[in-house]
Amino acid sequence: MNQAIYRELLPQEYIERFTKQSIREDGRQFEQIRSIKYLRKNEVSLLSMGQTLVMASTEIKQYEDKQVNQLVTSQKYLIEAEAKLNSGQHGSSDVFSPIDIMKQESYYSQYIQNIINKNYQAIYAICQISKEIPNLYWEIKLNLRVVNNDGNLLDALLLAAQFELFNCQVNQTVVKTIDGALQLEIIEDKKKHLEFNIEDFLYPVQCSLFQNEVIIVDPSNFEQEYSEANIQVISSLNNKTQSINKLGARDIKFEALEVVSAKASQITQQRRQNLYELLTNHKQEFTL
């Protein structure tokens, strides 16, 4: 039987066959992750994980005095993430209705927003322009566009969002005293990077589980769809696990969770030094 037809008609048997052979349909080993490629050009970040491709950009606005107070009192953060999916990128439009697409976009946007607000609140959520004039802030809007999705989209979105924030620049500002009052001068022809703590950078690793025994890292769309559960482990570069999210409905054995967590920690540590270098130097292009 043709492999593509076999996969479509009998997906579970197809998966069982390649898991027994200890090799995945794309030829990768169980613990082999796809290379991550990053390019920032014309103020737009492009990040790919295999065939999964995400574009990220930022819009930055200035708020001051009453505007800031209104935002804070209404419990709105000064950062907003919006994720958009390319039409048809999940499959045919007959399978995914516009309502389904909107629900997914809302989920991804809220997912990125929650992680950033929870882990980077002091850094990203309220980005103060000047310590001398405390009521001036930058508002950062993250625009995320999914050009193509071949699985592990949550990880790709979070990485793209972070790389964009670490590499985006704002107009430099200088505080001057004029007639005894502090005034802010914005120098548009000089740019500076926002100041972030590299230690807080979050590295996500997603795994798919089959029969609570077979664990594969960096799953494709097909592997995610037909696995028993998907687990995402998010760790910071200082080797602290920030969160473990189960993305499936079935129960997971505690032993399997321990193995997944250990694998994620190992992968994060393997890439730690490279990530430090990339973020410190604000590289515009690299491959991990």
pLDDT tens, position by position, 158-214: 999 999 988 888 877 777 778 877 777 778 788 888 777 888 899 999 998 887 678
DSSP the chain: --HHHHHHH-HHHHHHHHHHTT--TTS--TTPPPPEEEEEETTEEEEEETTEEEEEEEEEEEEETHHHHHHHHTT--SEEEEEEEPTTTTS-TTTS-HHHHHHHHHHHHHHHHHHHHHHSIIIIISEES-SSSTTEEEEEEEEEEEEE-SS-HHHHHHHHHHHHHHH-EEEEEEEEEETTEEEEEEEEEEEEE----GGG-EEEEEEEEETTTEEEES--HHHHHHSSEEEEEEEETTS-EEEEEE-SSS---HHHHHHHHHHHHHHHHHHHHHHHHHHHHT-SEEE-
pLDDT tens-digit profile, the chain (288 residues): 555 555 666 666 666 666 666 677 778 888 889 999 999 999 999 999 988 999 999 988 776 655 555 555 544 456 778 899 875 444 433 445 677 888 889 889 988 888 887 777 544 445 666 777 766 777 788 999 999 988 899 999 999 999 998 888 887 777 777 887 777 777 878 888 877 788 889 999 999 888 767 888 999 888 888 888 889 999 988 877 778 888 766 778 888 888 899 999 999 999 999 999 999 998 999 998
Please give the model's pTM, rounded to 2 decimal places.
0.84
pLDDT digits over 201-224, tens only? 999 999 988 876 788 899 988 888
Domain layout of the chain by residue ranges: 26-287
The CATH homologous superfamily to which domain 26-287 belongs is GHMP Kinase, N-terminal domain (3.30.230.70)
